[in-house]
Amino acid sequence: MKTYRLPHSDRVLSSVVLGLMRIVKMSDAEVQALFGAAREAGIDTFDHADIYGGERHACEARFGEAIHLSAAERDAVFIQSKAGIRKGYFDFSAEHILNSVDGSLKALRTDYLDLLLLHRPDTLVEPEEVAAAFDKLATSGKVRHFGVSNQTPGQIDLLKTAVTQPLVANQVQLSITHAPLFAQGVAANMAGLDQSISRDNGLLEYSRINKMMLQAWSPFQKGFFDGVFLGDRVNFPELNDAIDALAKKYGVTPTGIAVAWITRHPANIQVVLGTTNPGRVRDSAAGSDVTLTREEWYRLFTTAGHTLP
């Protein structure tokens, strides 16, 4: 398993993350099998959010009920969660952040979160409110690291006007077929080309310059929750042919190649899985060990429909 150092820390993390947004209806045995497959594959990072599962903290509680970690086992894993999305609105108030973290800790049956992410950008954010919450969480030991999700450089810099802790991560949507994070920069300054339009204001370069780890959610989705591209030969025949050929070459599955495409990037991007299938977890982990050549990486990029000017 390829690993990355968490920015602004000495913690080393797996390049693949197990997301747990779909476990609410799984039995203890099923959750344990999923968690066990992840650990055996070298995955040490586990992703939650207070909203996952339909009811607040539902998936976190399912995890906490099923997985009983000793002190040593808890130290060996990295548990992150998110706060800020409420029914019908976003809320980065200090009160909501603090209450959400307390709920997450209770549900997960742990004393601390390794990482708290602000979930989506709250346009009504008051940086001083966020800073007050983060200071209390850091001082109390309830949260060890802080970050954001789906935020632009400007939104992050606004938080930094008050927040004193390093913002170490930003979770964003990224897959071979949904890659504005990469595609815009490749086609910069090309008039009349939709790909040249910036949708994140240089987030990739900003993250590398400011030492923020990017985490890629929906790594197999065609777009915004509209199905996977793997095996879709109606919309992506050339891409799937190229993926299959590379899977055969490297002795992994197509899933592994989709992961390898993301982990090949020198920005050290973690891949956040959403699967509940232990086999898919193992396939994804195996892909992280594959290092695609530049030619292979760009071949997947162009067969996915992105333009090289």
In 3-state terms, the chain is what percent helix, strand and coil (to 5)? 40, 15, 40
Catalytically annotated residue among 4, 52, 89, 250: 52
- CA–CA–CA angle 22, 259, 249 (5° rounding): 135
Active site residue 52: yes
User: What radius of gyration, in Å, describes the C-alpha atoms of the chain?
Assistant: 19
Q: Cβ of 216: how many Cβ atoms within 10 Å?
A: 24
Q: Give the CA-trace dihedral at 70, 13, 125, 100, to 10 degrees.
A: -10
Contact 166, 7 (CB under 8 A): yes
Half-sphere exposure of 210 (CA within 13 A, CB side): 20
What gap in Å lies between CA 236 and CA 229, rounded to an integer?
7
Which active-site residues does the annotation give? 52
